[in-house]
Structure 1
Amino acid sequence: MDDATAELLRTAQWRKATRSGEAGDCIEVAPLADGRIGLRDSEHPEQPAYVVSPSVWAAFIDGAKQGEFDF
């Protein structure tokens, strides 16, 4: 990860779904200043985050709303 991306992730405003409850087992997301989306494990925020483009994020959200990831 380059230094610019690391800085964007360090200063990002992370949030997680309200449905995640108190256990903390959820993915946190953050819109980054360069337009990309950061994703990280809320139980281990010190671990590396995953960064995706807006189009990848939109496709994921669309798939989730349509139940594509339901088990």
Structure 2
Amino acid sequence: MQSRTPSESEFTGWHKPEASQAQGNGCVEVGYAPGHVAVRDTKNPGKPAHIYTALEWNLFLDAVVNGEYQHI
């Protein structure tokens, strides 16, 4: 059974990655809800966040760490 996807208002702990803060021009914020991660664009706050399951987010992070997106 698949769990329901939380609404954006249910996400807490929104924060910007350190690299984004250092540049000062904003970028993305990440928020958390049980079993899910949301990512939103700080320059376009009216647009909806992209919501991923914890598994999807962890697979993405693993791919980044392993260099699978170096060509982008």
Unaligned runs of 5+ in 2: 1-5
Aligned pair count reads 64
Unaligned runs of 5+ in 1: none
User: Match for 1:41: what amino acid?
Assistant: D
Match of 1:68 in 2: 68
Separation (CA, whole Å) in 2 of partners of 1:49 and 1:30: 9
Q: TM-score, normalised by structure 1?
A: 0.76
Deviation by residue 1:15-43 (Cα, 9 ceiling, x = unmatched): 1111112011x2211111x3210111121
Structure 2 counterparts to residues 33-52 of structure 1, below 5 A: 34-52=34-52
User: Match for 1:66: what amino acid?
Assistant: N
Match of 1:29 in 2: 30
Q: Identity percentage over the alignment?
A: 28
Q: TM-score, normalised by structure 2?
A: 0.75
Runs of 4 or more above 4 Å deviation: none
